[in-house]
Chains A and B, each alone.
Chain A
Amino acid sequence: MGLPTRDEETLIVNEDEVNDIIQRWRNTPEEKLKPEDYQQFKNFGSVCLTEGDGAQLLKFLQDEENRDIVKSMGCVLMTPLVKEVVKKGKSLDHCQASITHLTMTCSPDELMHSLLELIENTDPGDISETILTLLPHLQTVLLSLDDRKAARLGCALSALQQQLSRLPVPYSRQQEEEDEYGLCRCYNALADFTKPFVEEVKRNNGSSVTTSEDEELRTELLKFCMRSLREPLLEAELNRDRKSSLWLFATEIMFTLPAIQESLSELLLFSPLKRSLQTDSSESKESRACLAYLLFVQLITIDSFPAVFSPVFVLQCNMEYINQLLSSKKESHVLKGLALYEKSLENVQDNSLPVSLQDLKSFYSAPQNLRQVLTDCPMQNLRETGLQVLQLFIDKLDSESKHKFFRCMLKTSHHAGVESYIVKNIRNQLEFSMKQGSANKWFLGEELLPLLGLVLSLPQGAETDLLNNMDKIMESLNLLRYLLIRDKDLRSTIVWEELCRIKDEYLKMLRVCISISRGYYAAELKALRQDQKIKAREARGAARSCRLVKSITVKNEKTSNMSPEVQHQVLQSALVTFDLMESLIFRIEEITDEKQKTQS
C-alpha cells in the first residue's frame, strides 16, 4: 500500500495510520463517505505530488483493490494532478497517466464537474497550459457521456473560450510566431477538440430523424463558431498571403459552419432580414462581420459560396457589417471594415447605385462612419485607405445619387478637408458631364445651382474662420474659375444669371471676411513685433546691468503655447493665405469681365 507519511495539519503521523484510513475507505460504500474523507484523499494525493512521487500515486490509483475509492473520490485529485502537469513537475508522465486513468474510472458527471471547475478557476498565467493539458481528457469524458452531451459540451466550450478571451491576441507576425501566451496553440487545439462532435453532427444529417439532442449539438457548435469569429478572429491580423496559426483556425471555423449545416449565405445575407431586433446584438453582428470579411475579403471558402447573388444585394447586406466595424475604435476592426467596404464596392458597376439606396439606414450610415474615420482616426494608414474607399463609393453612385450625396456631405461633414474633397469631385463630375455631351440635369442642368449654392457659401458668413475653412474655400474658388472658363457649355443648360448672382454674393462676403481676418492678423503681427522689441530692449538692459528683469508681456491668447518665432510664422502664413485667396478672386473677376466683353 504505502503512501508516504508526513507531518501535516491533517494529523497523520505515520504510515500505519494512513494504511488504516485507506483500509477503512476500501470498506466504506460511497454514500457513507464524508467531506473530510474527500479532503484527506486530496491531501494524500497532493503530498505525493509535492514529494515528486507521482509514480506512487499512479500505482495506488491503478491498484485494483483501490478501484472503488478511486471511483468515488478520484475526481478530487484532478486539480492537483493537472496543476502538477502545468508546472512541469518531476513526474509528468505519471501524472498524465493518472489523469487518463481517472477519466476511465470515475463517473463522467463528476469528471465533467471537476474539469469545468478547473477551467473556471485557472490562474491567468496558467490558462493556455491548463487548457492544452485538459482538452484531450475533456474530449474523452464528453464522448463517453450518455445524455446531455450537447449541453455539457456547450458549458465546456463556453468556459474555455471565456478563459481564452483573457489572453491578448497577437497582432503582428512576430507576435504570432512567438505566441507568448499560447493563445494560437490553444485555439488550434480547440478546433481539434471539436472535430469528433462536428463529425457526429454530419452523421446525424444523413438520418431522417433528428432528435432535439442533435439540434442542441448543432446549436452549441454554432455558438462556438460565432464566439470564435468575434474573439480572437476579429482582433487578429489575417492575411491570405501569410497562412499563420490564426489563419488556420479561421479556416477551421469556416469549414465547420457548412459541416454543421449552417449555410453562409443564410447567415450573412438572409438571417439579418428575418431576425428580430432583439437577437441582433452587436456581438452577433461582430461575429457576422468577421465572417463576411473572411469570406469576401480573405476569400476563405468563396468557391463554395453561390455565385448567383446580385453585387448590389451583397453590398447592401454587407453595409450592416461595415457599419459595425467602422464604428469601432479598434484598428483591427476598422481595417477589416474598410477592406470589406472596398471589396463589396469593387464588384458593383460604376455609376450604377441608385439614389433610393441612400434612404436605407445602413447605406446612409456607412459613408458617415467613413467620414468619421477620415476626420478623427489617429492612424494615418486607415485615413488614407478610408479616402480611397470614399472615392470608390462616389464612383459607384449614379448621377442623381452623387448629387444627393455631395449635398449631404457638404451639409453634414463640418470639416473643410472633407468638403474640399467633395468640391473637387463636383468639378470632376462637371467636366465629365460636359465631355459626355448629352444633358445630365444633375450636373449640367437645373439641379446644379442648388448644389453650387452649398459650395459657394461661408458657414458663418463674414465671421467665418478662413484658415479653418481654407481647403474648402480654395477648392470652391477653383471650381468657380472653372465654371467661368467653361461658360459656353454651361450657358445653355443652366440659368447663368442665377449663377452670377450666387457668385457675386459669395465673393462679396468672402472679400469682407478676408479684410476682417487680414485686419485681425495684421494687428496680431504688429503686437507680436512690438512685444519682441520690448523684450529685446529689456534683455539688452538686463545684460548691461546684470540684473534679472521680469518682462511683462501681453500674451496672445491663441498662440500662447508657441515660441515667438513660431507665432510669427503662423501669423505670416495666415496673411499669405489671405493674399492667395484674394488673388484667386481677382482672377475670377478678370475672367468674368473678359467673358462679358465677348458676350456683348
Chain B
Amino acid sequence: MADEPTREWSEEQLKNDDLPKKDVIKFIQDNAAHSFLNEHKLLGNIKNVAKTAKKEQLIVAYNQLFESKRFKGTEPVEDVTEQVRSVKLEDKPKDLPAEVIDEGPPKFTKSVLKKGDKTNFPKKGENVSCWYTGSLVDGTVFDTNIPTTARKKKQTKPLSFKVGLGRVIRGWDEGILTMSKGETSRLEIEPEWAYGRKGLPDSKIPPNAKLIFEIELVAVD
C-alpha cells in the first residue's frame, strides 16, 4: 500500500480562480481509487471532465477524497481483478498467446491417489504423457484413454501434449504442473477451468459441468 497522498492545496487556494480545474482533476485522477472516480464522474480525458464538472464540484470531490481516504490501492480485490484483466499482455509465445492472468483462487482441487517420484515436475512447454479417465459429478464417464484390457494397453500410447500452453483445459494445465512423474491424482475441476458455460455437448459434457479426472502422469520430457 502506497503512502497516503497529502493535500496540495488549502481551501483558499482551491477556491482561487488562478487554480485551473484541470490541475485539480489531474490530482484526483492520479490519486483516487477507480470506483471513487467513477462515482464522481471524474473518469476519462481531463479536458472533457473539465468541461462538464464545475469548480465547486471538484472542490467537494477533493475534500471527500481525503475524508473517505479512497485512494488508489485501497480498493477491494474484485476491482483490482477487473483492472488487471484489462491489461494487455506483451509476451507472445510462438504458438499460442499467453492466458490473461486471473488473480482468483485456483478452480480445481487435487487429491493424490498414488505418489509420484516428487522430483520430476513438468515445466511449462514440456511434453507430458498420461493415462486418464474423465467423469461427471454423477459418475458418468465421458472420456478415457485407458483401454479395456491390459494387452491392449501395451498396444496403445498414452495421451501426449505440451503442458502449460493452453492446449488443454486450464484445469489440466494447472493441475498437471503440480504433479510429479509417476503420480496418480484425482483432479476436480470447476467449469470455469473446464468447458464453462458452453460445455462440450458432442463429447457429452453438459454446460457448467464440474469435471473429475483421474490422471496418471506417466512421463515427463
A residues neighboring B (CB under 8 Å): 202, 205-206, 261, 263, 265, 269-270, 273, 296, 299, 302-303, 305-313, 316, 346-349, 354-357, 359, 400, 438-439, 441, 445-446, 491-496
Contact = CB atoms under 8 A, between A and B. Distances in A.
A516 B95 CA distance: 52
Contacts of A311: 195, 198, 200
A308 B172 contact: yes
Contacts of A303: 203-204
A495 B155 contact: no
A492 B168 contact: no
A202 B156 CA distance: 11
Contacts of A347: 195, 198, 200
Interface of B: 38, 41, 43-45, 47-49, 51-52, 82, 86, 88-89, 92, 95-97, 100, 132, 134, 142-143, 145, 151, 154-155, 157, 159-161, 166-170, 172, 195-198, 200, 202-205, 213
Given A309-B167, A316-B96, A439 B203 contact: no
Nearest to A203: B155
Contacts of A354: 97, 100
A139 to B, nearest CB: 25
Contact of A307 (B100, B142, B151): B142
Given A206-B151, A206-B154, A493-B43, A299 B202 contact: yes
Contacts of B195: 311, 347
A495 B143 contact: no
B134 A307 contact: yes
Nearest to A308: B168
A356 B95 contact: no
Contact of A359 (B92, B132, B197, B203): B92
Given A355-B88, A438-B38, A445-B44, 9 more contacts: A205-B155, A273-B95, A309-B167, A349-B198, A356-B97, A400-B88, A439-B43, A494-B45, A495-B48
Given A356-B89, A400-B88, A446-B45, A310 B200 contact: no
Closest 3 CB pairs of A and B: A356-B97, A307-B203, A205-B155
Nearest to B142: A307
A206 B155 contact: yes
B202 A310 contact: no
A302 B96 contact: no
Contact of A306 (B89, B159, B198): B159
Contacts of A306: 143, 145, 159
B168 A305 contact: no
Nearest to A316: B96
A310 B169 CA distance: 5
A310 B132 contact: no
Interface centre among B41, B49, B167, B195 (most CB of A within 10 A): B167
B52 A263 contact: no
Nearest to B145: A306
Given A349-B198, A356-B97, A312 B166 contact: yes
B200 A307 contact: yes
A495 B203 contact: no
Contacts of B196: 349
A202 B45 CA distance: 69
Contacts of B96: 312-313, 316
Contact of A309 (B43, B168, B213): B168
B96 to A, nearest CB: 7
Contacts of B95: 273, 316
B169 A309 contact: yes
Contacts of A296: 202
Nearest to B37: A439
A270 B165 CA distance: 13
A205 to B, nearest CB: 4
10 contacts: A202-B155, A205-B155, A206-B154, A307-B143, A308-B143, A309-B169, A347-B195, A349-B196, A439-B43, A493-B43
Contacts of B200: 307, 311, 347
B175 to A, nearest CB: 11
Contact of A302 (B38, B166, B170, B203): B203
B48 A496 contact: yes
